[in-house]
């Protein structure tokens, strides 16, 4: 996950390949709750691991449920409808699928068994309505206190109290279908007699009710229904664990890759694994909308394949009530269409993670688009003159994911613009690795991938500065010195004469190198510590003088230029390897400062050292690096000079980011 303040997406050019979707949020949280209410053990396979499921899991644990991981599975020993904890405070983040169903279940359990439970969430959750559900539960006899504004969380659910189950439970269905889902999931707890639920008003987001009913059936509860107007939970209903449940991939998460295929898969399709024609989730019908916009879609039971069909895409007018989450993706696809796209019947967007109609309109306009909106609709015009934009994401995962598709503007305009996504980690609500997954299937012109180079003499702090800068930008890191060190080490181990440039260069293509989590592996061996040793540094300096070796390592270094960007440190990054880098920095510090830093570093590792000797070594190494004929150590002409002798690391990083920001079009 990119846990950084912003993620810059350079212009993206194409898409191909296969993605495996994370588990469905809606199915995951329903299954977790049903498993917890059931008797017996449930093994849940392919459960979504994200913020929304984390708050559900944590709540179930707090309520006394045994929940543990076994390999990739989650195992739950259900409570069998018996409360173990009678008091708890549950924090439910911004997960509607946790807040609404837990409110219903705990209200009923508190009524019948006694107890006091508080449910709360992030500030936005306290603005998301729950009043219709609370009214229905109060109508049944549940005791619910508003701890904030009436009609919104936080709430206290307490009991015991007497339930009146002989009259129908009435619930409004036109603000959120989750209120009905919550009652359907929870009322079997008290179904000593038939319990009838009647829906008032036009039920929205109907396909989510189908998910609820299908999963209730898996757990032994056969709800009788009268269309969408009334539902009856039969007397004597009892949750029975099916033993094992597979969670299918998330159909709403699929929408970004369906959109991606429609826009950018010109040759090979994007294959999406985890949902398909047999999906339980209504949001899979997003493919019909994408097809209506021109996408070529094939669907198998558990997979989709999408590629570009009509281009530009075709604008459309669509009632999106049945695909409320996935439909957001259409508003960004609409930018690539031949005419306006109008989405209607989407009033619920206004009460989700943010006011999504307002958010999409505001952010699309930043790209240059013309957007109109009404209480329950949005209209987006195709975009010709794209602007580089900083996209606010409002802590809404879907806003962040949708706007990644704006980075393909280079497919419709010559002056391609990057897109900055603020707070990209908000995708963790349902798809923590969204951007990594996206980067796995998109193509880019390598020249568009931004590079920052940091060159400078030994012990100037390049590595630390590169790592810290990269961490803040979410960029990859190339420690080119490590490549020379590893080459020197491998050459020495192979018994080569280090002065024989041809022989040393010849082993470069045979190196089994792997960089993972900041560590360097040579074959199976983690050589990171070895590479940092002084002795290896000397080997590096010896092999680095040979032009053949430098040539052999050239392509290897270029290969580090990958999405979303690169910070490369070394001695010739800005001069020889990445001459087109957008920001080049030449980092220095006085020999005295560098010797002192190296001294402290060694002493802290328990290695004895002599500061004068270190300084002499450093100066000798500087001389050798400056005077070698191939790629001598010198600042690129367009490099910024940074002397960090008197600077803290934070101050140096701030300077890097300030220079970087000056070069960005935002």
Ligand X SMILES: O=C(O)C1=C[C@@H](OP(=O)(O)O)[C@@H](O)[C@H](O)C1
469 binds, among ligand PEP, ligand X, none (CB under 5 to 8 A by kind): none
Stretch of 61-69, 171-179, 419-427, 621-629 contacting ligand X, by CB under 6 A:
171-179
Does residue 532 sit in helix, strand or coil? helix
Nearest to 67 by CA among 32, 104, 102, 17: 32
430 binds, among ligand PEP, ligand X, none (CB under 5 to 8 A by kind): ligand PEP
Residues 10 and 565: beta-carbon distance below 8 Å? yes
453 binds ligand X (CB under 6 A): no
255 binds ligand X (CB under 6 A): no
Kindly list the strands in the beta sheet with 66-70, ordered across the sheet, starting from the edge strand earlier in the chain.
Answer: 66-70, 73-77, 41-45, 244-246
Name the residue nearer to ligand X (CB basis): 96 or 410. Answer: 96
Q: Rounded to the nearest 5°, which phi and psi values hold at 568?
A: -115, 125
Q: Which of 60, 136, 204, 483 is close enough to bind ligand X by CB under 6 A?
A: 204
Q: Rounded to the nearest 5°, which phi and psi values hold at 40?
A: 90, -175
Which residue bears the tokens 């009214």?
Answer: 135
Q: Which of 2, 117, 152, 208 is close enough to bind ligand X by CB under 6 A?
A: 208
Residues 585 and 662: beta-carbon distance below 8 Å? no
Active-site choice (46, 325, 396, 455): 325
Q: Which of residues 95-114 bind ligand X (CB under 6 A)?
A: 96-97
Count of residues binding ligand X (CB under 6 A)?
A: 13
94 binds ligand X (CB under 6 A): no
Stretch of 203-211, 407-415, 493-501, 618-626 contacting ligand X, by CB under 6 A:
203-211
Name the residue nearer to ligand PEP (CB basis): 252 or 541. Answer: 252
Name the residue nearer to ligand X (CB basis): 172 or 420. Answer: 172
CB of 417 to ligand PEP, least distance (A): 27
Nearest to 218 by CA among 301, 280, 284, 282: 280
Question: Who's near 545: CB < 8 A, 6+ residues apart?
Answer: 501, 624, 628, 630
Which residue bears the tokens 């393909």?
Answer: 408
What is the DSSP secondary-structure string of 410-431?
GGT-SS---EEEESGGGGGGT-
CB of 419 to ligand X, least distance (A): 24
Does residue 543 sit in helix, strand or coil? helix
Q: How many CB atoms lie within 10 A of CB 534?
A: 12
DSSP type of residue 285 = G
Residues 642 and 586: beta-carbon distance below 8 Å? yes
Which residue bears the tokens 């007497």?
Answer: 162
Name the residue nearer to ligand PEP (CB basis): 398 or 550. Answer: 398
Q: Which of 325, 396, 569, 617 is close enough to bind ligand X by CB under 6 A?
A: 325
324 binds ligand X (CB under 6 A): yes
CB of 325 to ligand X, least distance (A): 5
Nearest to 105 by CA among 2, 186, 183: 186
181 binds ligand X (CB under 6 A): yes
Q: Which residues pair with 233 in a beta bridge?
A: 195
CB of 259 to ligand PEP, least distance (A): 15
403 binds, among ligand X, ligand PEP, none (CB under 5 to 8 A by kind): none
Name the residue nearer to ligand PEP (CB basis): 271 or 429. Answer: 429
Stretch of 82-90, 172-180, 326-334, 509-517 contacting ligand X, by CB under 6 A:
172-180
CB of 274 to ligand X, least distance (A): 17
Helix (H) or strand (E) holding 145: strand 143-146
CB of 40 to ligand X, least distance (A): 24
Catalytic annotation present for 325:
yes
Does residue 170 sit in helix, strand or coil? strand
Pairing of strands 14-15, 195-200: unpaired
Does residue 62 sit in helix, strand or coil? helix
CB of 26 to ligand X, least distance (A): 3
CB of 97 to ligand X, least distance (A): 5
Q: Can you give the binding site for ligand PEP, defined by CB under 6 A?
A: 94-97, 325, 352-353, 398, 430
Name the residue nearer to ligand X (CB basis): 206 or 624. Answer: 206
Provide the binding-site residues for ligand X, judged by CB under 6 A: 26, 96-97, 176-178, 181, 204-205, 208, 324-325, 348
**Any idea which residues carry the catalytic annotation?**
325
């Amino acid at each position: 996950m990119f846990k950084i303040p912003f993620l810059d997406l350079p212009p993206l050019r194409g898409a191909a390949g296969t993605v495996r979707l994370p588990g469905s949020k809606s199915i995951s949280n329903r299954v977790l709750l049903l498993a917890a209410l059931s008797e017996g053990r449930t093994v849940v396979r392919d459960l979504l691991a994200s913020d929304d499921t984390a708050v559900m899991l944590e709540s179930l644990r707090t309520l006394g449920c045994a929940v543990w991981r076994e390999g990739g599975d989650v195992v739950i020993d259900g409570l069998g409808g018996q409360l173990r904890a009678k008091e708890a405070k549950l924090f439910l983040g911004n997960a509607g699928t946790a807040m609404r169903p837990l409110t219903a279940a705990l209200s009923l359990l508190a009524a019948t068994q006694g107890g006091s439970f508080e449910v709360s969430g992030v500030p936005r959750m306290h603005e998301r309505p729950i009043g219709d559900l609370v009214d229905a539960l109060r109508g049944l006899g549940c005791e619910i206190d508003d701890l904030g504004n009436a009609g919104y969380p936080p709430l206290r659910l307490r009991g015991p109290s007497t339930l009146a189950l002989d009259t129908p439970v009435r619930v409004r269905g036109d603000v959120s279908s989750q209120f009905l889902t919550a009652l359907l999931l929870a009322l079997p707890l008290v179904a000593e007699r038939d319990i009838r639920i009647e829906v008032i008003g036009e039920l929205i987001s109907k396909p989510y009710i189908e998910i609820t009913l299908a999963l209730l059936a898996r757990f032994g509860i056969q709800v009788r229904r009268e269309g969408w107007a009334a539902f009856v939970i039969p007397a004597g209903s009892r949750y029975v664990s099916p033993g094992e449940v597979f969670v299918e991939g998330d159909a709403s998460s699929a929408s970004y890759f369906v959109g991606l295929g429609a826009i950018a898969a010109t040759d090979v399709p994007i294959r999406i694994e985890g949902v398909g024609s047999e999906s339980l989730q209504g949001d899979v019908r997003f493919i019909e909308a994408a097809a209506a916009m021109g996408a070529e879609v094939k669907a198998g039971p558990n997979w989709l394949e999408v590629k570009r069909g009509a281009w530009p895409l075709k604008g459309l007018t669509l009632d999106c009530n049945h695909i409320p989450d996935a439909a957001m993706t259409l508003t960004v696809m609409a930018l690539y269409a031949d005419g306006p796209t109008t989405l209607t019947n989407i009033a619920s967007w206004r009460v989700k993670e943010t006011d999504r109609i307002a958010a999409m309109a505001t952010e699309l306009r930043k790209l240059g688009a013309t957007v109109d909106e009404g209480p329950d609709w949005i209209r987006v015009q195709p975009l010709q003159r794209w602007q580089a934009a900083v996209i606010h994401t409002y802590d809404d995962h879907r806003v962040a994911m949708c706007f990644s598709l704006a980075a393909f503007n280079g497919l419709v305009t010559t002056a391609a613009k990057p897109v900055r996504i603020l707070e990209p980690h908000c995708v963790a609500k349902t798809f923590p690795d969204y951007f990594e997954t996206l980067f796995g299937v998109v193509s880019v012109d390598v020249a568009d991938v931004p590079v920052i180079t940091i060159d400078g003499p030994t012990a100037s702090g390049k590595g630390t500065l590169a790592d810290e800068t990269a961490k803040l930008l979410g960029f990859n890191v190339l420690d080119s010195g490590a490549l020379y060190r590893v080459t020197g080490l491998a050459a020495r181990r192979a018994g080569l004469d280090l002065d024989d440039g041809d022989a040393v260069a010849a082993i470069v293509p045979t190196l089994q190198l792997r960089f993972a989590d900041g560590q360097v592996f040579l074959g199976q061996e983690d050589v990171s510590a070895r590479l940092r040793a002084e002795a290896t540094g000397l080997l590096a300096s010896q092999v680095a003088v040979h032009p053949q070796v430098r040539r052999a390592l050239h392509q290897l270094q270029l290969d580090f230029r990958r999405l979303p960007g690169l910070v490369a440190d070394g001695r010739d990054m800005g001069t020889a390897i990445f001459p087109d880098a957008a920001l080049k920095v030449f980092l220095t510090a006085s020999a005295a400062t560098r010797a002192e830093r190296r001294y402290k570093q060694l002493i802290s590792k328990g290695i004895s050292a002599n500061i004068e000797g270190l300084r002499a070594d450093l100066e000798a190494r500087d001389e050798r690096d400056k005077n070698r004929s191939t790629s001598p150590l010198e600042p690129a002409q367009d490099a910024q000079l940074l002397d960090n002798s008197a600077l803290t690391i934070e101050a140096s990083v701030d300077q890097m980011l300030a220079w970087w920001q000056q070069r960005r079009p935002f």
